[in-house]
């Protein structure tokens, strides 16, 4: 069997049983019997695609069949299924918030900044000028407010620590690559367990934000470049890489990765990515790589 379809449901809404898996298998060419990764939660169905079979189309067909159930679908080749490089977006992906929106709340402009953020993430406006516009509104805000936001408002996305640390324990290199700011990424990357992080640098004037960001801005093209850079430096094939994100500035990175996953993403991003997570937390991406629940870890590997 050369390919595999993985069905995953949330832990608190288990929806898989033998009948569901049999129906899913009937939609795949030359399908084998299902294999549980975690009973009622995640299962693999191996198959051999016929002719010019489109893997995204196969996933969409299964997704449509179970549209009333909380099931995420991953369809991919079995070769290089366990990835050796992970690049992940931060805001609304590895954390539940948008950091710049939380900063704007302290100058009474959260609604205005959030509206710009949403338009940028949907791809309605270019990311770089949108970021400059939002950062300008932060001028005069004390920069130590970042520590308060980290302590009081930032929530890690469930499953994120298990995803990063399980991949690390199995030899993968993990990078948080964000259009946000280093003041946040450095601490969030450490809390989750990433090897390293890249992000934009907010300019500080004394104790206050200057209302500018260092150029060049880390946006859509920089994320793609980072993926290529790490892949080449590690001597990996494209198939051995995974990228995760939710916004339009992530899409090129998702399309360049071996497995690009739109995580609870904007509609245009979800439609264009290789795979999508609509129901589950980030732990679903371990099942997508063939890990069983007993292999999950949240203990970072040494170094």
Indicate the pTM of the whole model. 0.95
Q: What are the pLDDT digits (tens) for 120-171?
A: 999 999 999 999 999 999 999 999 999 999 999 999 999 999 999 999 999 9
Examine the domain organization and report whether 100 and 173 are in the same domain: yes
Which residues form the catalytic set? 89, 91
257 and 173 share a domain? yes
pLDDT for 224-243, tens place per residue?
999 999 999 999 999 999 99
Query: Where does a domain end: 47, 79, 111?
Result: 79
Q: Quick one: pLDDT at residue 56?
A: 87
Counting residues of the chain whose pLDDT is more than 70, the rounded percentage is 97
- Inform me whether the pLDDT recorded for 300 exceeds 60: no
Answer yes or no: do 121 and 20 share one domain. Answer: no
Element containing residue 118 per DSSP (H, E): helix 110-121
In this structure, the answer to whether residues 73 and 135 fall within a common structural domain is no
**Cβ count within 10 A of residue 303:** 5
Please state the length of the chain: 303
Vertex 176: Cα angle to 225 and 139 (nearest 5): 90
Handedness of CA 198, 106, 159, 19 (dihedral sign): negative
Q: Domain ends where: 79, 102, 134?
A: 79
- Residue 49 sits in a domain whose CATH number is 3.30.70.260
Q: Residue 35 pLDDT more than 60?
A: yes
For residues 121 and 68, membership in a common domain is answered with no
DSSP state of 39: T
Domain housing 5: 1-79
Contact 50, 30 (CB under 8 A): yes
Mean pLDDT of 32-43: 97
What gap in Å lies between CA 267 and CA 55, rounded to an integer?
19
* 47 and 72 belong to one structural domain: yes
């Amino acid at each position: 069997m050369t390919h595999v379809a993985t069905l995953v449901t949330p832990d608190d809404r288990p929806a898989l049983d033998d009948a569901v898996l049999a129906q899913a298998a009937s939609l795949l060419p030359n399908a084998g019997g299902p294999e549980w990764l975690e009973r009622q939660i995640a299962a693999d169905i191996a198959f051999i695609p016929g002719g010019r079979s489109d893997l995204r189309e196969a996933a969409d067909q299964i997704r449509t069949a179970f549209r009333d159930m909380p099931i995420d679908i991953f369809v991919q080749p079995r070769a290089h299924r366990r990835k050796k490089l992970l690049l992940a977006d931060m805001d609304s992906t590895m954390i539940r918030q948008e950091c710049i929106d939380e900063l704007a709340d302290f100058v009474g402009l959260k609604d205005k900044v959030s509206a710009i953020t949403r338009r940028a993430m949907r791809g309605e406006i270019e990311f770089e000028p949108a970021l400059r516009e939002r950062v300008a509104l932060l001028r005069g805000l004390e920069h130590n407010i970042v520590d308060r936001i980290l302590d009081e408002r930032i929530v890690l996305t469930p499953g994120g620590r298990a995803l990063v640390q399980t991949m690390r324990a199995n030899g993968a290199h993990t990078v948080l690559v964000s259009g946000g700011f280093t003041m946040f990424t450095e601490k969030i990357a450490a809390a989750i367990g990433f090897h390293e992080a890249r992000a934009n640098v907010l300019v500080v004037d004394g104790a206050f934000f200057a209302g500018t960001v260092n150029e060049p801005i880390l946006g859509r093209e920089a994320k793609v470049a980072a993926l290529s850079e790490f892949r080449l430096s590690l001597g990996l094939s494209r198939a051995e890489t995974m990228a995760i994100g939710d916004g339009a500035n992530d899409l090129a990175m998702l399309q360049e990765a071996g497995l690009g996953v739109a995580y609870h993403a904007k509609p245009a991003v979800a439609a264009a990515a290789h795979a999508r997570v609509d129901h589950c937390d980030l732990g679903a991406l371990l099942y997508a790589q063939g890990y069983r629940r007993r292999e999950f870890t949240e203990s970072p590997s040494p170094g």
